[in-house]
Chain A
């Protein structure tokens, strides 16, 4: 029967294999009285043990730099510094001399003192460093006891492929050594998600679940285990169907991840040499950093709603600070800041939203730029913050949910006022900051040239454009089936928009979910789109789809499909696009 044990999900990935229980000798630390004439000898014992432990760590650090990288060796360097810290060596020596106790006990008492201090720390990460202190002190105590076999590796096979090691806890050095032997996965009874071993397991990609209580008693040597690092679950003695299921997942994800890794360093060029711009939709710092790491061409959609959902409407300085930190995280790439897009589904206590709530149909009511043009103080505060940010880096301003040219002119007038105010204050801004608009309203999509004429760039929000065009809310289960990007009307609408943009040389990006859905990448390329903005987690998948597409052939197939007339419904557009790639 399958037994499921849960712990901290510290490192993603799935491991399937046999359990190996790594026993760790419990060190019995007793207190002995040292005769005054033997105190010097006891201090010597302590210092020799500290010295030996340090030497072992030095060797280990050098060794794992090669096998597990600098992160592992840096963690061991921290342990070495701890061993050399006066709060361990000097303090333990003082205890021996003043309390006439043995070295093991002196270390133990000192450990308690140090741990008490760490336990008080508010920061969970810093608190977890107490585990490191306990680990290095145990090393020294083991050395003193001459037990010598605390090292859990003595009984561990050299090759650990298909083996999941189950242990009470792990030091980062031990983890690095298990990694050298190719361990499939790790289960520990103790150790926080912030322990160095946990951090290292994650960075080395070793599936691991930490803090599984009683793992040693509940799991048996040689037993089949499945470890699901995403969920933090270990399944013991799983039945066949279970194993088969996880083998499938393992195969698919490892193959997929490997293929994505391969496109990482490649440029986003289609087979026929079209260069595609890939930007990220991001608001949190980790998303921006991921985008930078994956070499995205900047942030195509930086949402600002989160600033307004915290309670009070944020003042200019607060907004500026957020924008500046986003600019910094982007290291020189362009940041496209979208002005407030609240209303309808997202409302805030910070603002007077009685207007929205009272509107009969929120989705068609006062929202986004409509709301901003109503509450011009709120809007101008944001425009000033964006303008000031533009002095510090490449910034573009994006206005959501435009319907008419008149709205653009109103926004421009307010921008002009905001600039004048900054000038009066003597504050800097980029006078050439680009102004863009989001196309989400169907009538605006059909009048894309009219709107585009007054703007520097356009961004198509496919989520709302689909919802408004198809008159179907995809969140409403009853009508969600109508929400279909492949509806001939939608395909035609997008075809029209991108063709109009190309003819007028108007830069256009798609920033809706369609852009990050690899199933539709080929369709968007066929439609002539050359700039995508998506969640950074999707960048590699979409890039891979681009690299595998001959855009010209896809366009030919699409044009053929558009001319099919009523027969279209018998042809799957996506399959047609796939088939077009094979043509000689």
Chain B
């Protein structure tokens, strides 16, 4: 298992478009992906879970992945988040 923390930096936070990208990204790996905000942890492959994190800009999230491609999963998700979900802001 591999864990990491990441801060949401894009302007709109995990709104629908960004949440969808995150879910699609997590789903492309065979590993289980979990995302935690505070006490609450959700399945990173669930759009409903990711949306209800209501993670705005500046929110710190914990990432956890377990499986054969766990390292790639975490690295790719972190890149996606750091890249403002490709939204440029």
Contacts and interface: CB of A to CB of B under 8 A. Distances in A.
Contacts of A123: 54, 56
Contact of B48 (A75, A82, A289): A82
A74 B46 contact: no
A122 interface: yes
B43 to A, nearest CB: 7
Given A126-B51, A329-B89, A81 B24 contact: yes
A474 B77 CA distance: 56
A196 B51 CA distance: 14
Nearest to A126: B54
B48 A78 contact: no
B54 A78 contact: no
Contact of B16 (A75, A85, A118, A285): A75
Contacts of A81: 20, 23-24, 47
B63 interface: no
Interface in B18-71: 19-20, 23-24, 43, 46-49, 51-52, 54, 56
Interface in A63-98: 74-75, 77-78, 81-82, 85-88
Contact of A77 (B20, B43, B54, B89): B20
A328 to B, nearest CB: 8
B55 to A, nearest CB: 9
A153 to B, nearest CB: 24
Nearest to A128: B16
What is the interface residue range for chain A against chain B?
20 to 34
Contacts, number: 47
Contact of A85 (B11, B17, B46, B56): B46
A78 B17 contact: yes
A125 interface: yes
Contacts of A285: 11
Given A81-B23, A87-B46, A196 B52 contact: no
B10 to A, nearest CB: 12
A340 B50 CA distance: 42
A86 B20 contact: no
Contacts of B16: 74-75, 78, 129, 132, 196
Given A81-B24, A126-B15, A126-B52, 5 more contacts: A77-B20, A81-B20, A81-B23, A117-B52, A285-B11
26 contacts: A74-B17, A74-B20, A75-B16, A78-B16, A78-B17, A78-B20, A81-B20, A81-B47, A82-B48, A85-B46, A86-B43, A86-B46, A87-B46, A87-B48, A87-B49, A117-B52, A121-B52, A121-B54, A123-B56, A125-B15, A126-B15, A126-B51, A126-B54, A129-B51, A285-B11, A329-B89
